[in-house]
Structures are given as C-alpha cells and as structure tokens.
C-alpha cells in the first residue's frame, strides 16, 4: 500500500481544503480530474477518514482558466469534521493511504492506531472487501466501468466465478476475488494479453518502458510494426488499446484517442499491469466459445454475462461478431442450466430480450450516469468537452436478490 503525508493548514480548518499537491497525480487513478465547478470526472475516489462511519466520494477539480488541478478534493465539508474528531490543528500531519486503485484511508500520521494498522496489515473491516478492487488494465468499448457499483450490488455470495464474455473484465477486477475464477473470451488476442499480464508482467513492462503515447507511435504499431513473438504481439495490442479511442481494437476503427488529462499515462501503465497480474494469479484464462465456458462451469458457479447488445452495430467495436442466432443459442443454454448455475445477464432493454428471458426470476431496468470526457477526436483532431450521459440496461437474474 502506497502512502503520502499531508500537512494541514489554516485553510483546512476554515474552508476544508486539503493541500494534496505533494501526492501528485500518479497517486490517484486516471480520470480523477473534474471540471472547475461541476462533477465531470471520469473516475471518483472513495475516502474513508479515521473516526467516520461513512465514506466520502470525491474527485479533484481543475482551474477554469488553465485546466490544471486545483490540488484539493472537491468534497470538503468532511475535512473540518475530521479535524475536530481527531483533535487536529493547523500544521498537524495526516497520512493518506491507497488501499486499492480507487479507495483511500486517511488518519493522523502520529496516531498509534494508524501505525499499527499498516505495520500489521490489519485494515478496517469495511475496507477489507475492497482491498483487491481495481480498474481493468484495458480500455474496452461496451465495458461496465461506469455500472460497476450498481452491478456489484446485485452479485450473490459465491465461491466460483466465470465471465464467458470477459472483454475488459471490469466486474472481475472490481469485485473481491472468488476462490475459483474463470475469464473467457473468443477474442484470441485479448486473452493472449491477459496471459502475458498474468505470467510475464515485467517483460511486458520492460517492452513498454520509455515509449510515449504519440500519434506517430500509435500509427507505427497499428500499420508497420511486425511482432515476432507472443510478447511483442501482446505489447503491440496493449499499446494500441491504451492509446486508441475508447479502446476499440477492430483495426479499421482503431483510431488515435489519447489525451494526457483523461487517459492513463504511460508512466502509470506499469502499476496497472502489476496490479492486474497479481489479481490474475490462479485465474483460469481461456479462448473458448461461450457455450463451452458455461457448460464446463461447476454447479453453483456465478456467471456474470455481458454479451454484445441484441440491437447494436457490433462490427464497429469488436473483432468477433455475435449474430442473432448466437443470442438465441445463449438464451437456450442459460435456460437449460438455470437450476445449477447462478447468472446476472446484462442486455439492452428491448422487447425481444424481455420476451427471450420472460422465464427468468427477475428483469430489472437499471440506469447510471457516465461522462465522456474531453479527448482527441478520432479523425478530425479536434477536442470536445466532457458531457453527461445516462446508461440504461436490463439486468436479468435467475436468483432472488
């Protein structure tokens, strides 16, 4: 666990400002920067202050004129309460510790509880369940990054876990790791990269080290580079994924789409790769059909199933197609195994899908907010400001929540 020391000031007590400049942006997840006056951050962090029963969700605002970080947390009311609760005065020091990619613990630096906490590895109980939570190492079109918290609320207790359509595996990386986990995807290149991250993280990092995120290098790896080894193939895929618009890897739609402000910068790739490698240890990684992945799952396995939308232009985003017949086959397969497997299936909410799964235990229309931040335009080289959108999907379950 990584920590930083912050010194309190008079502004901390008066306005709730915590000067986090010395933490640096590398200490926080990508997308943490929001707009000057409203919440437009792609990613928020969760802070658990010592002495609080509740958690604080916040981002870092930017200056409206320069666009640079203001180096304070947007949510500030809790700081004064934190100082009063822990009897802190200006010039006192606090320690902020990163428990996972998006969760942080803050306490007085001198407090014996704080010292014991991190010397023994004993985390607050409410933090233990999130200690291995992280973002996916990939950008992935159609992924469940923004819906993660909502999906996690619907996951039942389980020992065995499987994702037949893994993609970026946002739910696997966000949830506590099961005793047995299985990630599967028909995309052979994607699964190759997963295996390299699991088994050769340092080799992958060594290949990527020193390579900046530039349009020229993106074009080189897309059009000219000829990988000769499995490692080189994985490194090429990873570089293009991290620098392409929305992580789209269908080569004819794989355009430059990196921005320093909202994309994970190359200097942060090693940390992400190492974290993902650690969580992937012992995980079964396969390139099966979805039928085989589901049929070979042990009784009682929980499946998170995120197929391509029933009504969608898939060819633009994915390297593997999924036809209407495939959707019907998936329905028949899940109906056949409904009494021995648990599943949460996410789909576009349309009459056809509701009819296909009318036999399921529960069909729930769910919504969540997400933001498309300013980024390089794929073709025209322009930029656009962050905009708020609402995600809508149908959650289909064969169990009672």
Can you give the pLDDT at residue 116? 47
Other Cβ atoms closer than 10 A to 285: 20
Handedness of CA 323, 328, 331, 336 (dihedral sign): negative
Residue 248 has pLDDT above 80, yes or no: no
Percent of the chain with pLDDT over 70: 81
Can you give the pLDDT at residue 99? 83
CA 3 to CA 93: how far, in whole Å?
A: 13
Residue 89 has pLDDT above 80, yes or no: yes
pLDDT band at 193; cut points 50, 70, 90 = very high
Mean pLDDT for 298-303 is: 97
**Owner of token pair 């200690």:** 131
Can you give the pLDDT at residue 264? 77
Q: Please, what is the average pLDDT of the chain? A: 84
Whether 244 and 218 have beta carbons less than 8 Å apart is answered as: yes
Residue 39 has pLDDT above 90, yes or no: no
pLDDT band at 85; cut points 50, 70, 90 = confident
Mean pLDDT for 246-271 is: 71
Angle CA 169–101–151, to nearest 5: 45
Can you give the pLDDT at residue 382? 44
CA 101 to CA 173: how far, in whole Å?
A: 10
Mean pLDDT for 245-271 is: 71
Mean pLDDT for 100-107 is: 87
Whether 225 and 236 have beta carbons less than 8 Å apart is answered as: yes
**More confident call, 283 vs 260:** 283
CA 128 to CA 151: how far, in whole Å?
A: 19
Burial 41-78 (b: 16+ CB within 10 A, else e): bbbbbbbbbbeeeebbebbbbbeeeeeebbbbbbebeb
Highest mean pLDDT among 61-75, 124-138, 144-158, 364-378: 61-75
Residue 111 has pLDDT above 80, yes or no: no
Whether 178 and 159 have beta carbons less than 8 Å apart is answered as: yes
Mean pLDDT for 84-113 is: 83
**What is the 3-state secondary structure of the chain?**
CEEEEEECCHHHHHHCCCCCHHHCHHHCCCCCECCCCCCCCCCCEEEEECCCCCCEEECECECCCCCCECCCCCCCHHHHHHHHHCCCCCCCEEEEEECCCCEEEEEECCCHHHHHHHHHCCCCHHHHCCCCCCCCCCCCCCCCCCCHHHHHCCCCCCCEEEECCCCCCHHHHHCCCCCEEEEECCCHHHHHHHHHHHHCHHHHHHHHCCCCCCHHHHHHHHHCCCCCCHHHHHHHHHHHHHHEHHHCCCHHHCCECCCCCCCCCHHHHHHHHHHHHHHHCCCEEECCCHHHHHHCCCCCCEEEECCCCCCCCHHHCCCCCCCHHHHHHHHHHHHHCCCCCEEEEEECCCHHHHHHCCCCCEEEEEEEEEEECCCECCCCCCECCCEEEEEEEEEEECCCC
Residue 279 has pLDDT above 90, yes or no: yes
CA 235 to CA 300: how far, in whole Å?
A: 36
CA 214 to CA 212: how far, in whole Å?
A: 6
Can you give the pLDDT at residue 262? 63
Which tokens is 162 given? 């499987």
Which tokens is 214 given? 């530039």
Least Cα distance to 118 among 133, 131, 102, 134 occurs for 131
pLDDT digits (tens, 9 = 90+) for 208-218: 999 998 989 98
CATH number for 2-128 (one of 1.20.1540.10, 2.40.330.10, 3.60.150.10, 3.40.50.20): it is 2.40.330.10
Residue 61 has pLDDT above 90, yes or no: yes
CA 229 to CA 273: how far, in whole Å?
A: 19
pLDDT digits (tens, 9 = 90+) for 145-180: 778 888 999 999 999 999 999 999 999 999 999 999
Can you give the pLDDT at residue 250? 64
pLDDT digits (tens, 9 = 90+) for 308-318: 888 876 555 55
CA 152 to CA 162: how far, in whole Å?
A: 14
Least Cα distance to 326 among 291, 299, 297, 293 occurs for 291
Lowest-pLDDT range of 18-22, 109-113, 309-313? 109-113
**More confident call, 127 vs 186:** 186
Whether 311 and 347 have beta carbons less than 8 Å apart is answered as: no
Percent of the chain with pLDDT over 90: 51
Tell me how far CA of residue 248 lies from CA of 5, 141, 192, 239, 282, in angstroms: 39, 6, 17, 12, 28
pLDDT digits (tens, 9 = 90+) for 361-382: 999 999 876 554 444 444 444 4
Domain boundaries, the chain: 2-128, 148-397
Mean pLDDT for 350-358 is: 96
Can you give the pLDDT at residue 368? 74
As a CATH number, domain 148-397 is 3.40.50.150
Lowest-pLDDT range of 84-98, 112-126, 232-246, 247-261? 112-126
Other Cβ atoms closer than 10 A to 390: 8
């Amino acid at each position: 666990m990584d920590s930083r020391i912050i010194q309190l000031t008079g502004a901390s007590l008066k306005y709730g400002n915590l000067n986090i400049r010395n933490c640096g942006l590398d200490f926080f997840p990508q997308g943490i920067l929001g707009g000057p006056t409203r919440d437009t951050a792609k990613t928020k962090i969760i802070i658990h202050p010592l002495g609080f029963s509740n958690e604080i969700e916040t981002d870092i605002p930017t200056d409206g004129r320069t666009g640079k970080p203001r180096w304070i947390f947007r949510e500030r009311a809790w700081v004064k309460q934190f100082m009063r609760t822990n009897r802190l005065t200006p010039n006192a020091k606090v320690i902020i510790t990163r428990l996972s990619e998006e969760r942080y613990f803050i306490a007085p630096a001198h407090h014996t509880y704080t010292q014991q906490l991190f010397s023994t590895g004993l985390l607050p109980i409410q933090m233990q369940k999130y200690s291995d939570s992280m973002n996916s190492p990939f950008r992935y079109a159609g992924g469940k990054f923004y819906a993660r918290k909502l999906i996690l609320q619907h996951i039942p207790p389980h020992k065995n876990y499987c994702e037949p359509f893994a993609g970026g595996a946002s739910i696997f990386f966000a949830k506590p790791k099961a005793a047995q986990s299985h990630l599967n995807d028909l995309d052979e290149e994607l699964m190759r990269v997963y295996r390299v991250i699991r088994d050769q993280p340092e080799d992958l990092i060594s290949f990527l080290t020193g390579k900046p995120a530039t349009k020229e290098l993106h074009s080189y790896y897309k059009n000219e580079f000829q990988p000769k080894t499995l490692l080189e193939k994985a490194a090429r895929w990873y570089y293009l994924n991290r620098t392409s618009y929305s992580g789209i890897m269908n080569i004819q739609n794989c355009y430059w789409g990196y921005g320093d402000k909202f994309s994970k910068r190359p200097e942060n790739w090693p940390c992400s790769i190492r974290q993902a490698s650690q969580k992937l240890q012992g995980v079964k990684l396969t390139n099966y059909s979805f039928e085989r992945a589901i049929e070979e799952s042990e009784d009682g396995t929980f499946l998170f199933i995120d197929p391509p939308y029933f009504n969608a232009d898939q060819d633009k985003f994915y390297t593997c197609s999924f036809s209407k017949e495939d959707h019907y086959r998936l329905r028949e397969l899940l109906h056949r195994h409904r009494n021995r497997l648990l599943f949460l299936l996410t789909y576009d909410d349309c009459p056809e899908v509701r009819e296909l799964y009318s036999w399921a235990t529960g069909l729930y229309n769910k919504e969540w907010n997400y933001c498309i931040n300013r980024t390089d335009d794929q073709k025209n080289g322009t930029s656009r400001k962050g905009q708020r959108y609402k995600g809508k999907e149908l959650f289909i379950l064969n169990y009672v929540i």
